[in-house]
Amino acid sequence: MKRQTLVLALSLCAMSAALATTYVRTEKDGTKTYSDRPIPGGTPIDVQPAQTYSAPPSGVTQVGSAAQSEQDLLRQADDFRYESCTVTPDNDTTFQNPEAVAITVYTKPPLRNGDVITMTIDGQPAGPPNTMNYTMQPAYRGTHTVGVNVANTNGKNLCTYTSVFHVHQPGLNSPARQSNAPARPPRPNVPRPTPH
C-alpha cells in the first residue's frame, strides 16, 4: 500500500509541475497524501519544476557542418593556382664564356607543403624533385631551355614556366679567343737561297 501511495505521490508531483499547485496532507500513520486539489487538512506546497536538459544540436548537424567545411577546404585547395612560377636567369639572357650558370626557381606565393617542383634543363631532370637552386656546370655552348612544373600531391598541374638562355663560347679561330691566346714568337729572319 505504501508503495502504491509513493507511486501515486510521484505521479502527482509530475502532474503538479504542469498544474503549478500541489497539496499535501500527513496521515495518522505518517504517510503523505498528495493532491492537485485542496484536501481537508492539506497544505499547499511549492513543487520545484523538474530539472530539464536541452541537448545540443543533433550530432548529424555537427558532423554535417564539419563535413561541409572540410569539403569547402578541399574545394579551395583544388581550385588553388600559383600566381606565378619563374626562373633566373631571365628569358633570353646571354652569357659570354661562363664556367657555370646558376638557375633559381621562384613561386608566388611560396611553395606550399606537399606541392612538388620539377625542374628540367634541355628536357633532362635538374636535380631531385623540389630542387629550386641548380648550377649547370660546365656551361656548354648553345641555347638551353629551363622548364619548371609545380604540381600538387595528386599530380594536378598548378604552374608551368619555360625560359631559354644562351651560352656563347669563343671558337678556336674566333678573334676573341685569338686575342687571349699567347702571342707566337716571331720567325727568325733567315735569307732564302737564290736560285741559280
| pLDDT at 92 (0 to 100) | 94
Q: Whose CA is closest to 103, among 124, 73, 80? A: 124
Q: Tell me, yes or no, whether 173 lies in a domain.
A: yes
Q: Whose CA is closest to 122, among 74, 164, 173, 160? A: 164
Separation CA 36–CA 47 (nearest Å): 11
Q: Tell me, yes or no, whether 18 lies in a domain.
A: yes
The mean pLDDT of 43-56, rounded to a whole number, is: 76
Tell me, yes or no, whether 38 and 89 share the same domain.
no
Strand 32-35: give its sheet, edge to edge. Answer: 32-35, 22-26, 43-45
Residue type at position 61 = T
| pLDDT at 104 (0 to 100) | 95
**For the domain that residue 144 is a member of, what is the CATH number?**
2.60.40.10
Q: Please give the span between the terminal C-alpha atoms of the chain, in angstroms, as a whole number.
A: 166
| pLDDT at 5 (0 to 100) | 58
How confident is the prediction for the chain on average, in pLDDT? Answer: 79
Choice between 1 and 103, residue whose per-residue pLDDT is larger: 103
Domain with 37, as residue range(s), is 2-45
The mean pLDDT of 85-92, rounded to a whole number, is: 93
Q: Tell me, yes or no, whether 187 lies in a domain.
A: no
Q: Tell me, yes or no, whether 24 lies in a domain.
A: yes
| pLDDT at 47 (0 to 100) | 74
- Residue 63's pLDDT band (cuts 50, 70, 90): low
| pLDDT at 43 (0 to 100) | 85
Longest CA span, the chain: 174
Query: How many domains does the chain divide into?
Result: 2
Choice between 60 and 116, residue whose per-residue pLDDT is larger: 116
- Residue 16's pLDDT band (cuts 50, 70, 90): very low
Q: Tell me, yes or no, whether 68 lies in a domain.
A: no
Q: Tell me, yes or no, whether 73 lies in a domain.
A: no
Q: Tell me, yes or no, whether 52 lies in a domain.
A: no
Separation CA 108–CA 121 (nearest Å): 21
Tell me, yes or no, whether 167 and 108 share the same domain.
yes
Tell me, yes or no, whether 26 and 91 share the same domain.
no
pLDDT tens figures, 121-164: 999 999 999 999 999 999 999 999 999 999 998 889 999 999 99
Q: How many residues does the chain have?
A: 196
Tell me, yes or no, whether 96 and 169 share the same domain.
yes
Task: Decide: 118 and 139 in contact? Cβ < 8 Å.
Answer: no
Separation CA 166–CA 101 (nearest Å): 10
Model's pTM, two decimal places? 0.50
